Amino acid sequence: MTKADIVNDISKNTGIEKVTVQKAVEAFMDTIKASLVENKNVYLRGFGSFVIKTRAQKTARNISKNTTIVIPEHNIPAFKPSKLFVSEVKGGK
């Protein structure tokens, strides 16, 4: 499902114009991105959490050049679904 599909579904189900829905969806995504950039987690009860995970520094190998490199500690965004979300996807209620 693409962003356009989401906009179409919301527009069809609510009767709100697609342009308005698209602005709302994009504002929602921008708000989540901005929060994560500021190291603030986003919690949506019943849906899940957008969190920042810290990856530790590690040593990796470049096989073609036979060298080792150090990958520094860094943050990555992650999504953790709620228990309700997981149970619905698995088929339970």
Contacts of 60 (CB under 8 A, 6+ apart): 68, 69, 70, 71
Q: What six digits make up the tokens of 42?
A: 């986003």
User: The dihedral of CA 36, 41, 45, 46: what is its sign?
Assistant: positive
Please give the average per-residue pLDDT across 50-54, as a whole number: 95
At 93, the pLDDT band (50, 70, 90 cuts) reads low
Average pLDDT, the chain: 94
Residues 56 and 92 in one domain: yes
Assess if residue 58 is contained within a domain. yes
Contact predicate 16/23, CB 8 Å: no
This prediction's pTM: 0.77
Band (pLDDT 50/70/90 cuts) for residue 86 is: very high
Using CA atoms, how far apart are residues 83 and 86, in angstroms rounded to an integer? 5
> Does residue 24 lie in a domain region?
yes
Looking at the 3D structure of the chain, how many domains does it have?
Answer: 2
- Identify the pLDDT of residue 16: 95
Same domain, yes or no: 7 and 28: yes
Query: Is 46 a domain residue?
Result: no
Quote the pLDDT of residue 92: 65
The reply to whether 29 falls in a domain is yes
Res. 62: pLDDT tops 90: no
Domain, as residue range, for 91:
52-93
Residues 35 and 68 in one domain: no
pLDDT at residue 13 in the model: 96
Q: What pLDDT does 63 receive? A: 87
- Is 58 in the same domain as 89? yes
